Amino acid sequence: MKQLTKAEEEVMQILWQLEEGNVASVIEAMPEPKPAYNTISTIIRILENKEFVDYRKEGRGHIYFPKVTKESYSAASMHKMVDGYFNGSFKSMVSFFVKKDDMSVKDLEAILKEIDKK
């Protein structure tokens, strides 16, 4: 799966939240200062080319919607991060966060419970 830029991810986060929308509705959902219409339109076209977004015609405009789920993109991104920074080892990643005090014993217990459910 292709990697997205920060701006592309921001637009995708909004489309995942909205489920569908035109350029104006994406801009409306963005924080201040609002980007220019042409900027968001260009980013959405890039997302179409990367096959993350599709559209349907509605009147004279387009309604855009995600082709890639947030879950599948998140999984691919996490795997890329684990491969790139932790030599493919989820154990090394968890160990890193524990050592940096970014993960509590309570967090680890919750993770173990989730693993046990599988």
Confidence of residue 15 (pLDDT cuts 50, 70, 90): very high
Whole-prediction pTM value?
Answer: 0.80
Asked whether 74 and 20 are in contact (CB, 8 A), the reply is no
The tokens describing 64, both together, are 């855009």
Backbone angles phi, psi at 57, to 5 degrees: -75, 135
pLDDT value at 43 more than 90: yes
Confidence of residue 114 (pLDDT cuts 50, 70, 90): confident
Asked whether 97 and 105 are in contact (CB, 8 A), the reply is no
**Angstrom distance (rounded) from CA 55 to CA 20:** 9
CATH number for the segment(s) 6-66: 1.10.10.10
Query: Mean of the pLDDT values across residues 31-60?
Result: 97
**Angstrom distance (rounded) from CA 45 to CA 43:** 5
Domain limits, the chain: 6-66, 87-118
Residue type (1 letter), 73? Y
pLDDT value at 110 more than 80: yes
